[in-house]
A and B are shown apart, each in its own frame.
Chain A
Amino acid sequence: MQPFTRLEARACPLGLANVDTDQLIPARFMSRPRTAGYGTFLLHDLRFGPDGAPVPGFVLDDPRRAGARILVARRNFGTGSSREAAVYALVDYGIACVIAPSFGDIFASNAVKNGLLPATVTEDDAESLLAAIEAEPETPVCVDLTAQTIAAGDRAIAFAIDPVRRLQLLNGWDDIDLTLRHAAEIAAFARTRRTEAPWIVPGHGG
């Protein structure tokens, strides 16, 4: 996984609360292998009409926001299903940071495992950031994970992130390699667990 330290890029305002995982990627695309990329599925049914034609004026297709790598939204971003494909769609599109007052728990966990920063800001800061990037679409926003700050024009905003997740992003750590170092403790725990609660292993059945 690529480490995340600092990002300076244009930002897209998505001024909705509860942007759910079905919006981030509709279920019908998830059977596809990721090799071809999931970026074109991002926010697909908000971005394209039923006939497949782009919805005029949709923020991702605003030429003033070309190359945007940051998304700003209202509360409870990524609510809904556990589909990691929602994160794949964001990452494959080029988004590296989502800024919102709150995130769905599973979404935030999936995001960090794919190098995407979920930056939590206050409701007021989200509103002011939305207003700022609406007004000045071409002005880049700077997200600094080391300092936990967001700079947009002359505004400087602090953001919150779980300290462990911050370190994972900064270092690009992979969980599985870390876990496998504890193989002996895991094996010992498994033995005890099976002895104390033998019913955890179903012994029979159809």
Chain B
Amino acid sequence: MTGARTLFDKLWDAHVILTREDGESLLWVDRHFVHEGSHHAFRTLDQRAATVAEPALTFGVADHYVPTRGRPVIADPEIAGMVARLSDNAARHGFRLFGLDDPSQGIVHVVGPEQGLTLPGLLIVCGDSHTSTHGAFGAYAFGIGASEVAHVLMTQTLWQRKPKRMRITVDGHLGAHVGAKDLALHVIAAIGADGARGHAVEYQGAAIRALSMEGRLTLCNMSIEAGARCAMVAPDETTFAYLRGRPFAPAGALFDRAVAAWRGLAGDPDAVFDRDIRLDAAAVAPTVTWGTSPEEALPVTATAPSPEAGDPARAATVAAALDYMGLTPGMRLDAIAVDRVFIGSCTNGRLDDLRAAAAVLKGRRAVVPGLVAPGSLAVKRAAEAEGLDRIFIEAGLTWADPGCSMCVGMNGDIVPAGERCASTTNRNFRGRQGPGSRTHLMSPAMVAAAAVTGRLTDVRDLTEPDREA
């Protein structure tokens, strides 16, 4: 034995095939998700006349480029070709595809968990940085580039150097109408967009234990925006209850056997982390981004920063962000008018997220246009079964089909140049939602509040107007 181990140490050890003298380890991959954007990797396979090593552990999802309206027609021939190429590769290499015509289609990081493909203890990779999402189940999950996708397709393994270990403990309880997204933005603002670079993050503490699986998925999803190599929450009863009965999860006696093994996926009490961060959940406010990096986030009650006020080395970056976003230093964030809203993405496209937004929108009207793209067709059906679609439509928003949609704009769902969008997505980079678009990241409830007032708004002003500020 190697002494006291963290959860990450245990996940790492369980997947090491061999370690070279130079410290690089060859890791076994339990689950590989591919999408229509993985075309470069499949081309590498073709060039080598290679096949997929483990088709039974490989799953395809059409999500990045798919249309969210007018299906099954794909108007753009280039996109139609990409989606068809993914289908061809799935058929040729014999792996299961959640294609455009599949009743379980959706965003890869929504489909994996809800289908029970994402399980505790697995090593999961995908050619998408938000693969960190799956760590919510106590899995070792991370995004890889096209060369590594090709490597996994051909060998079901990856070379990695062991990352450092960081623990983020969140004590106490999140306030009313403050959720996992606010916590994630709060953490990123505190440690920076590269604050967790080179680290495997484990979240611990009472506030984390209290989160639903959806909340944990949001938090682990956003951890890549702090630069984390991966992020995780040790599995518990919440995890096991979520997984029981999922289509691809083990069933019957095998499920019980799996749960017994998963209960061992916790760090030893005296395990040591390379970095330790501790936060008080009560200090987390409804949070929004003002700039062009997720670290440029503040409570909605704050004002836009001044380039001169902070670190001189950062002044140019802050000034450029304010200029791009069309903001003036010192202006109130809740005075910022928005042109449209977007609810969806692998960060906040799950049923809990849609419920939170609908709770604010119920009986109210949006004063700006907006798009709601559920994270999967399963989420869409569940939302419709409880009437959430009616709430969004009656509020004046557009209810669409699932895909990455306006988070990345690849399918044509974009924010027009110069327009400002309150968005439940994960990146406020320049032009992320379309050339010249301006993005403010926030929670689903906060996006709903912005839709109702037409400006960034503290959702608590709508839901509990009598509270003390």
Which of A159-181 touch B at CB < 8 Å? 162-164, 167, 175-176, 178-180
Q: Is the CB of B144 within 8 A of A50?
A: no
Which of chain A's residues have a CB closer than 8 A to the CB of B157? 179, 182, 186
Binding stretch for chain A, among B16-24, B357-365, B445-453: B16-24
Is the C-beta of B51 less than 8 angstroms from some C-beta in chain A? no
CA distance A202 to B255 in the complex (A): 12
| CB < 8 Å neighbour of A82 from B57, B143, B197 | B143
> Is residue B328 within 8 Å, beta carbon to beta carbon, of the partner chain?
no
Contact B316 A164, beta carbon cutoff 8 Å:
no
User: Could you tell me the distance in whole angstroms from the C-beta of A57 to the nearest C-beta in chain B?
Assistant: 15
The interface residues of chain B, by DSSP majority, are classed as: loop
Whether B194 contacts A163 by the Cβ 8 Å rule is no
- The CA-CA distance from A167 to B427 in the complex, in Å, is 34
Using Cβ atoms and an 8 Å threshold, which residues of chain B touch A200? 30-31, 57, 119, 122
| B314 pairs with A106, CB closer than 8 A | no
Asked whether, in the complex, the Cβ of B316 is within 8 Å of the Cβ of A22, the reply is: no
Q: Give A69-98 as 1s and 0s: 1 = Cβ < 8 Å from B's Cβ atoms.
A: 000001110011111110100000000000
Chain A residues with CB under 8 A of B317: 16-18, 74
CB distance from A44 to the nearest CB of B (A): 9
Contact A197 B261 (CB under 8 A): yes
Q: B93: CB under 8 A from chain A?
A: no
Minimum Cβ distance to chain B for residue A25 (Å): 11
B313 CB contact (under 8 Å) in A123, A167, A182, A203: A123
Identify B254's interface contact among A80, A182, A199, CB under 8 A.
A199
C-alpha spacing A182/B19, complex, angstroms: 11
A131 contacts partner chain B, Cβ-Cβ < 8 Å? no
CA distance A50 to B410 in the complex (A): 17
Q: A26-B435, A105-B197, A205-B116 are in contact. Are A164 and B22 (CB under 8 A)?
A: yes
Q: Which of A1-53 contact B (CB under 8 A)?
A: 15-18, 20, 22-23, 26-28, 30-34, 45-46, 50
0/1 string, B1-45, CB within 8 A of A gives 1:
000000000000000011000111010101100000101100100
Name B30's contact: one of A163, A185, A193 (CB within 8 Å): A193
- A182–B26 CB distance below 8 A: yes
CB distance from B225 to the nearest CB of A (A): 8
Chain A neighbourhood of B17, CB < 8 A: 182, 185-186, 189
Minimum CB–CB distance from B169 to chain A (whole Å) comes to: 23
B400 at the interface (CB under 8 A from A): no
Contacts of A83 in B (CB 8 A): 37, 145
- Asked whether B151 is an interface residue with its Cβ less than 8 Å from the other chain, the reply is yes
Contact of A204 among B117, B248, B427, B435 (CB under 8 A): B248
Cβ contact within 8 Å between B18 and A16 = no
Stretch at the interface among A58-66, A107-115, A140-148, A150-158: A107-115
**Distance in Å: Cβ of A49 to nearest Cβ of chain B:** 9
Q: Is B115 an interface residue (CB 8 A)?
A: yes
Q: Is B56 an interface residue (CB 8 A)?
A: yes
Beyond A22-B429, A176-B151, whether A76 also contacts B193 by CB under 8 A is yes
Q: List 19 A-B contacts (CB under 8 A).
A: A18-B317, A20-B293, A22-B427, A23-B430, A32-B78, A74-B317, A80-B129, A84-B40, A85-B146, A104-B194, A109-B148, A113-B145, A167-B22, A176-B48, A179-B159, A186-B156, A186-B157, A205-B247, A206-B103
A176-B48, A204-B247 are known contacts; what are 9 more A-B pairs with Cβ within 8 Å?
Answer: A17-B317, A20-B429, A22-B430, A50-B436, A85-B40, A162-B161, A180-B155, A193-B30, A199-B250
